[in-house]
Every structure is written in structure tokens, then in C-alpha cells.
């Protein structure tokens, strides 16, 4: 399976009910930006982990990925997913987007990408 491209849902003043789905085992490709957040729930009983891959370097050194633990029964809002840290550079087929990986049971993880 290939990574899934996740549609970013706009948060409105009237209120947004996020549509959440499970990722596949290869992970996601999501939009980036100062107003982009990842909303992730672990509906299972065991620990999962969300990793947003960093594409940035500073002074020739790679900036570490963002790794967030997700205990069973927990929902977390992760972000913002800044383009400068997580987005692929211009010229890349995924320019301005980020790769997100998940550990745990994919069926137990529900995620949405939201922006305002």
C-alpha cells in the first residue's frame, strides 16, 4: 500500500465536526502550515505512536522527527505542522506536504487534519 493523502478540513466559526479515518500501515501525506493540526485518537487499549517526519536541517544537522506517544483511549491535537520543519522542499513531488507514520494497530487509530 502507498501512503494515503489526507484532506485537510477547515475549522469554521459555525463549528466543524471532524471526519476521522484510520491510516493504512504505510502512513499519511498531509498538508503543512502554521494553522495545520493533526487530531489523532487511539481507540484501542495499547500504546501507539505518531511520528511527523522532519525535512529540516539546521547548520547541516537533521532536525529530529516529532514523535508523540498516544496511550489507549487518548485523543491528542498535534501541531502546528510548520512547513519549514516538516514540509518537503520545492521541487519535490510532495513539496509543502509532510509524511506521518503511526505505530500500533491502524484500525485503532483515527485521525483528521484540521486548519483554521
36-54 pLDDT, tens digit each: 999 999 999 999 999 999 9
Query: Which residues are paired to 5 by β-bridges?
Result: 29
Polymer length in residues for the chain: 116
* C-alpha span between 109 and 85 (Å, rounded): 24
Closest CA to 24 of 87, 106, 109, 100: 106
Cβ-in-10-Å burial (0-12, 13-18, 19+) of 101 comes to middle
pTM above 0.75, yes or no: yes
Give the integer Cα–Cα distance in Å for 96 and 5: 13
pLDDT digits (tens, 9 = 90+) for 52-66: 999 999 999 999 999
- d(C-alpha 115, C-alpha 96), whole Å: 15
Closest by Cα among 27, 100, 109 to 74: 109
Amino acid at each position: 500500500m502507498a501512503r494515503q493523502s489526507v484532506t485537510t478540513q477547515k475549522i469554521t466559526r459555525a463549528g466543524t465536526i471532524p471526519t476521522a479515518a484510520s491510516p493504512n500501515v504505510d502512513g499519511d501525506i498531509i498538508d503543512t502550515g502554521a494553522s495545520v493540526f493533526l487530531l489523532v485518537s487511539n481507540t484501542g487499549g495499547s500504546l501507539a505512536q505518531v511520528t511527523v517526519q522532519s525535512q529540516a536541517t539546521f547548520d547541516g544537522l537533521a532536525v529530529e522527527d516529532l514523535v508523540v506517544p498516544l496511550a489507549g483511549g487518548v485523543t491528542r491535537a498535534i501541531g502546528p505542522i510548520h512547513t519549514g520543519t516538516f514540509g518537503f522542499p520545492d521541487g519535490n513531488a510532495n513539496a509543502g506536504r509532510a509524511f506521518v507514520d503511526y505505530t500500533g494497530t491502524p484500525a485503532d487509530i483515527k485521525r483528521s487534519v484540521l486548519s483554521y
